[in-house]
Amino acid sequence: MALMTKEQYLDSLRKLNVKVYMFGELVENFVDHPIIRPSINAVGMTYDLAHDPQYEDLMTATSNLTGEKVNRFTHLHQNTDDLRKKVKMLRLLGQKTATCFQRCVGMDSFNAVYSTTFEIDQAHGTKYHENFKKYLEYVQANDLTVDGAMTDPKGNRGLAPSKQADPDLFLRIVEQREDGIVVRGAKAHQTGSINSHEHLIMPTMAMREGDESYAVSFAIPTDAEGIFMIYGRQSCDTRKLEEDADVDLGNKEFGGQEALVVFDDVFIPNDRIFLNGEVEFAGMLVERFAGYHRQSYGGCKVGVGDVLIGAAAVAADFNGAAKATHVKDKLIEMTHLNETLYCCGIACSAEGYPTEAGNYQIDLLLANICKQNVTRFPYEITRLAEDIAGGLMVTMPSEKDFKHPKLGPICEKYFKGVDDVPTEHRMRILRLVENMTLGTAAVGYRTESMHGAGSPQAQRIMIARQGNLAHKKELAKKIARIDEASIAQREAAAAKK
């Protein structure tokens, strides 16, 4: 089964014994839960489009491991064309779902772990790379959705993992066995964790001597013994629980998902371990995964931005303001910002290069520039969309008021916009803008643009590290005809006098 369908994906989730809590209660059927199902539908789109001949070139690839056709979300990038197609695929899915489709973190973790394990084995004579290759072949053969899990709760951000008052605030190894390890801790903000068949765990930061038990990477089934999840709240999430909810949901079919994933003394067998105490490689793994994931935002957030720009333009049409010069200019500005993000995603892909393991790495500096822009531009696109939509976006009555025998006609009368546009259509587009900028889809656009793949400061640290300021200084000195050697000689001669 190299390529699953959406229905097969849904069936596979039903077979899992995933333990997830929401509002303090264990969810008995997470696949059909009205709050969770939209996020499952978004992942389902990654399966549906892989079977559409129109998108086959973007959505599928030939595995370098098996030679078989696989979903691109399970693929190892073999050249810069693969890297560019990844960005284009993510933009397409953003356009189709208008939210986070959650499968990027697994793809990005595959490529980071693949190249890093190769170099660990070279340095230490371990067998992590072979372990991972066999694991990825299993993932590809079954077209699994894998949650790449990196972010630990972290506790006191000023202390190293091994210095925390509570040692479990970073996921750690608590027991070494002949046949594997036992881990304890948690991963926070985990995108698509409940919808995934597997979790691929990575360290959250560079490690140093003393942090060996925290330098760990492994794969584990989502329903493994000792794992449970606590579902994260999103704004307006309980609207999905309202009877016959439709218009008020905005984006009814699709949504994002985040959870706290708890590991309560979970056993990991040796053949699923990819890092076990080699602290000097934790930073490499983090840096590579972060680079790939920051590249991703130049695709997925652009696709969602396309929908938001379109929604703002439709709102202007329905409000009767489409011809206003300032509205036209705002739509131009939104498009300019959105396409700039796409340029960054394509640029860091085009400048990619092969790793020692053979898969392709993006240009890390440009990937960090891409994500730094993503922490800013979607906020301005959102602001302009809210400006164009108008205040009714957040003050309109509920769908039940519109359906009420007495109140409905009044709502229809006073919330009418352009004569030939049904009032309900106007309400629907405004609810979509609200959903994307303030509601449950905001996790896949607004706030995630800030904190997903690392906070803004994380990118600035990498930009400072990779910006090669010393080289730029030398360029300037050469143009300015500054000969430092002669300056040093004159200073030495003056000192002798």
Question: Around Cβ 335, how many Cβ atoms within 10 Å?
Answer: 15
Please count the residues of the chain. Answer: 497
Q: Which of 77, 300, 411, 437 is an active site residue?
A: 300
Cα-based angle 284, 286, 288 (whole degrees, multiple of 5): 65
**What gap in Å lies between CA 94 and CA 448, rounded to an integer?**
14
Question: CB of 301 within 8 A of CB of 341?
Answer: yes
At 384, the amino acid letter reads L
From the list 74, 191, 382, 440, the catalytic residue is 191
Catalytic residue among 198, 212, 258, 386: 258
Whether 80 contacts 89, CB under 8 Å: no
E strands, 107-177, in order: 146-149, 172-177
Contact 346, 298 (CB under 8 A): yes
The sheet that has 146-149: what strands, in order across it?
A: 146-149, 198-201, 216-221, 273-276
| 191 Cβ contact partners less than 8 Å away, ≥ 6 residues apart | 100, 102, 104, 105, 147, 256, 257, 258, 452
Element (H, E) at 86: helix 80-97
The one catalytic residue in 9, 104, 222, 411 is 104
CA-to-CA dists, residue 198 to 139, 345, 464, angstroms: 9, 27, 35
What value, to the nearest 5°, has the Cα angle with vertex 330 and ends 327 and 332?
110
Cβ burial of 78 (10 Å; 0-12, 13-18, 19+) is middle
Instruction: Check if 100 is active-site.
Output: yes
**Mutual angle of helices 282-319 and 104-124, in 10-degree steps:** 170
Is 66 flagged in the annotation as binding? Answer: no
What is the token pair recorded at 362? 């993006």
- Give the active site residue among 297, 342, 360, 445: 297
Distance of CA 375 to the CA centre of its chain: 13
- Judge residue 414's burial from the number of C-beta atoms within 10 Å of its C-beta, 0-12 exposed, 13-18 middle, 19 or more buried: exposed
- List the structure tokens of 88: 């284009």
* Joined tokens for residue 467: 């910006």
What is the rounded end-to-end Cα distance, in angstroms, of the chain?
84
Measured CA distances, 81 to 46, 75, 77, 88, 383 (Å): 20, 13, 8, 11, 34
Q: What sign does the CA torsion over 35, 40, 43, 47 have?
A: negative
- Residue 191 bears catalytic tag: yes
Instruction: List C-alpha distances in Å: 324 to 122, 153, 309, 365.
Output: 63, 48, 16, 40
104 catalytically annotated: yes
Helical pair 282-319 and 364-374, crossing angle rounded to 10 deg = 40
Q: Please report, in range form, the residues annotated as the binding site for FAD.
A: 191
Return the active site residues.
100, 104, 191, 258, 293, 297, 300, 448
Q: Please report, in range form, the residues annotated as the binding site.
A: 191
